[in-house]
Amino acid sequence: MTILYACFLFSIGTVSFSLLSKAVEVRRVWEANSTILAARIAAQEMVSLNAQFASIDSREEYQAFDSRVHRLADGNGIHLRAETERLR
């Protein structure tokens, strides 16, 4: 029973670390992309993007946010970080 419990705890820890790692990567990429975008788009648009990013609660919300960011970047001739493709 102890080995089974230890395996369970290990798997929970691994999943938690993986989720935390992905969250950190998403945040890091957004911070880089927001710096890139801020130089070319209106300040009010950046405020709106930051508010939307801060309110993300699900993968679907992140994907909608990411699509918005890429449409905005494409419309303004902005090249974003390549990591965003991997995070979708």
pLDDT block averages, 10 residues each, the chain of length 88: 57 52 85 94 96 94 94 94 64
- Can you give the pLDDT at residue 19? 53
Is the model's pTM score more than 0.95? no
- Can you give the pLDDT at residue 15? 47
How many Å is the Cα radius of gyration of the chain? 17
- Can you give the pLDDT at residue 25? 85
Domain residue limits, the chain: 23-87
Residues 26, 27, 32, 37, Cα dihedral to 10°: 90
